[in-house]
Each structure stands twice: as structure tokens, then as C-alpha cells.
Chains A and B, each alone.
Chain A
């Protein structure tokens, strides 16, 4: 179970990384083709016009994917920031209780956000909403990625909560593997 969960978070991180890599490669290809075209025009040749239509929107959607798929991975790695200045001064038992309270709030907020994002996605699907731009993209696709990312995070939060409550770990991110 433990290993399956860890692999699950790694998978999210990998999806996020793939999105980032694709954004980078797409933009670099776009810039290169623009430079090539300018060069050809300068030489008096006709430009190739290798433009990726709607690249900016596509990159924006992939950024959403990169962010949301990365949320759970980032949490698992202890990457989301919080103020620990006061917590560190508390005795171990009080620290643990504060961690549990923080996790409970985080679970509530994430579940609430996921539920309403799911409705948003369903409405977009139902109405057939399209993005306004060069290449119309059905909005439910990026929105579904958002719901998935939030659910992914919810799993990670619940996992941490259970681990703390059962006493398997004494503190949050006690066992966060460094990668």
C-alpha cells in the first residue's frame, strides 16, 4: 500500500514534469521557426511560416496540467510552504495536534474545491463550452485535469492525516524522500 501510494504521487510529479517539458519544447520550436523565417526573409527567400497556431493557449492549458498534477507530489515532498516558526517552539504533542488540525482544514478545503471544480467541469461539458482563441479547446478537458489534480492532493493529505493519527509518523514529512 505504502509503495503504491508513493508511486502514485511520483506519477503525478512525472505528469507535471512532462507538461513542463512540452511547454519548453513547444516554445523553443516556435522561437526557432520564427528566427528561421526572419533569416529567410532577410536572405530574400519566402518564409516557411511554420507557426503553431494557438501555442500560447496550449501552453497556458499545459501549465494548468503542470500545476495541478504536481500538487500532490509537492505535498508529499514537503514542498508547500507554511509558517513553522511558532510550531517549532511547541512541545512534540502539541505540534502533532496542530499538524492534525492543519491537515483537517486542508482536507476540507481541498474536498470542497474538488467538488465544485467537478461541477464546473460538468457544466462546461454539458454546455459544450469552448475556449476563445485560434484553436477552440473544449473547456472540460483542462477543467477535468484540475479536478484530478485536486483529488490527487486530497489522497496525499488523507494519507498524511492517517499516518499521523495512527502514529506511523511523529511529524509531517518525517519520511519525505528527497529526490
Chain B
């Protein structure tokens, strides 16, 4: 029982440091130092330097800057401007019409960038003015954007899944593959909801939009998108087929992204340097957090807290579903003020042993965690994506949260679905070679 109070104390201390504005990486390191110093006999400094070192030398982790770089390059190419005109010819006749450009655009861009804030900002910048001008229902514009932008976390290559894989020593390739079906499922749920909504509310959708284009004309419109789609499919496909490790396919992806950007005429010395320096910033930031998290994980193991917690949870005789329910509530709470990556590294330090003791597959748990984190990004009244869209439109945050509520519920139902049918997550990885 003493352990429970100890861990609660550490948790409160950590949340205090985070809330007080200490950088996430430093907060994690500080709690690691405190727990080692007070609750173990291990020399703090030696463990700190060893943990920082071993967390930074990693071949698997090299996939992280490479995928970030690939996204930075494509982000700076003209791709994002062409997203809208490339997708719109295909959805003109589907109920809900151009609202689907938000969902598909976010889906494609999510695969490129792996960050939901960047996805919301990029797609929203084009689609909000365009859809508003054409007279679409404002709530649906904001809702589809807020909801679909969270796909950035799940659709591979996902930065947050690399973080989870490195922190828990799970195969990144398998995690990526596991994210494919749930990602598609979420897009289908969103699109299905938009179709139903627009059939029930025909005045929310402007009439007479459909352009009659032949198949070839449509293809011509979306030609700028095709190389990028092929690039993404190639990257994911070579990982799935076991042709290349995630790090290798990411590095090749960077080279090809530069080539595409150069062919599209948007590569210059300036865009090269700003893409590269943007990568330095993001990857140093995440790697630093991972170092802090790795140190916290080893410190926690020395104090024995995760083990004790796992035993404690076992004595409670919770069913795995009850445990997941409790965790879901906890993560939604954390997600109100923490970004996704911080939530994930916190979880892996303390909660994973407990989860494994309850008999939950860590691969499945990774996907579950990412979907819950997605949800927490649009939880009313606070959430990261809501802030981004607020910045983009100047709308009241509560109104955006209200518009995003159906999508929040859809993501929640996706969590229920993968819990009832774990095969949605585990089927594709089980089909992989080796």
C-alpha cells in the first residue's frame, strides 16, 4: 500500500513540474532523479548518464529524424496547395461532397507528416476558406477537420508509433503495419458519418456542385498527388514486405521526397535548409524527451514501483476491459494539457508492466494508446487540435469542440471496436514475414 502513495506522490510532483512550465524532458529527468535518490540505493548520476547515452545510440530511433525530414520536405513542396484540387473531383457525387476532401486530405497528409497539429494547420489553411466560400455547414467543416487531423498520429509512418516502439522495445515495422487497418477504419467511420449527416441535413451542403469529368480528366487533376501517394505506398509497402527496415525505407523516402520536390520546382537552397533545420529542431526535441523517459523508466524499475503496481492491479481482479476503461479516462485527462508524445512516454515508463501483467498484448496496446491520444487531442474543452483550429479560424474554442464532438464519439467507438475485435489491429502484423 505504501507503494501506491509513493507513486501517487511522484505523479502529483510530475504533474506539478509539467504544469509549472518546466520542459517535458527536464520534468521526466527530474522525477527520475528524485525517485532514484529517495526510493533506491542506486547512484543517481551514473544511471542518468548511462540512460541518456543508451537512449540516444539506436539504429531504430534513426527512423525518427528520417521520417520527420521526409515530412518537412513534402510539407514545403507545393503538395499541400494541390491537395484540395487533387481530391475534389473524386468526391463531388458522394453525399457530403467536398467535406470528404478534409477527411481524405488529412489522411494523405497524415501519412506524410505524422503530426496532427501540422495536419490540421496545413489542410485547414486551404479547405476552411474554400468550403466556407462554397456554403458548406460551418460546424461540419470544423468538425471534419478537427477529427481527421488526428489521423496524423495513427496512419503510418507515424512519429508517435516510433516513439512508442523505441520506448517499449516493440518492433516499429509491426507497429506501423498494425496501424494501417485502424487508420482506414477511422477514415471510413468519419466518411460514413459525413454521408449520413448530409443525407439528413441536405441544406448543409450546397447543391449543384458536381462537375462532370471523365475518369481521365479526374486523373489529370490529381496528377500532382500521385507521386506522393506512390512514395508513401512504397515506403509502407517495403516495410510490410520486409524488404527494408523502417530506418532504411525512411532514408530512401527522404531522398525521394527531395527528388519529387525538385521535380515539382519547389526545391531551392532555402527550402532545403529550412527543411533540414526544422528536422533538427523536431528530432532533437523528441529525442531529448525520449532520453528523459528512458531514464525515468530505468529509475522506476529500480524503485520497483511498476512491479508493485502490477501486483496491486492483479489483486484487484480487474478484467482487462475495466483496466482499459480506467486508463482511457486517465489518458483523456492527461491529453487535456499534454501533447501526445509526452502522454505516450509517461505511460510506457510506469503503466506498461501493469498492462502486460493484465494479459494485454503490447503491440495492440500501442495502437489503442495512439487512438486514445488522438481522441484526447479533440476532447472538449481543451485539446491540442482544438487550439490549432482556433488559431486558424479565430472561432471560439467551445464552438470548435462542439463541432468536433461527433468525431470524438466516433474515435471512442473505434476504441470500442478494436477492443471487441482485436484482430483489426493484429491481423496484418501477423501476416508479415518473420
Contacts and interface: CB of A to CB of B under 8 A. Distances in A.
A179 B58 CA distance: 28
A71 B29 CA distance: 15
Interface in B28-48: 29-30, 33, 45-46, 48
B241 to A, nearest CB: 14
B312 interface: no
Contacts of A113: 29, 48-49, 52
Interface string A29-53: 0110000000000000000000000
A81 B342 contact: yes
A63 B277 contact: no
Given A74-B280, A98-B21, A27 B251 contact: yes
Given A79-B281, A81-B24, A106-B26, A56 B59 contact: yes
Interface string A57-91: 10111011011101101100101111111110000
Contacts of B48: 112-113, 116
B111 interface: no
Contact of A70 (B25, B52, B283): B283
A83 B337 contact: yes
B56 A74 contact: no
Contacts of B277: 13, 17, 179
Contacts of B56: 63-64, 67-68, 146
Interface in A130-179: 142-143, 146, 179
Interface string B267-308: 000000110110111111101110100000000000000000
Interface in B246-277: 247-248, 251-252, 254-255, 273-274, 276-277
A82 B21 contact: yes
B266 to A, nearest CB: 18
B53 A146 contact: yes
A67 B20 contact: no
A66 B276 CA distance: 12
B22 A106 contact: yes
A20 B279 contact: yes
A117 B23 contact: no
B69 A102 contact: no
B65 A63 contact: yes
B160 interface: no
B248 to A, nearest CB: 6
A158 B257 CA distance: 38
Nearest to B338: A83
Nearest to B290: A67
B284 A23 contact: no
B281 A77 contact: yes
A21 interface: yes
A11 interface: no
B280 A109 contact: no
12 contacts: A13-B277, A20-B65, A24-B66, A27-B252, A68-B56, A70-B281, A80-B24, A105-B17, A112-B45, A115-B45, A117-B49, A120-B53
Interface of B: 17-26, 29-30, 33, 45-46, 48-50, 52-53, 56-59, 61-62, 65-66, 69, 244, 247-248, 251-252, 254-255, 273-274, 276-277, 279-285, 287-289, 291, 337-339, 342, 382
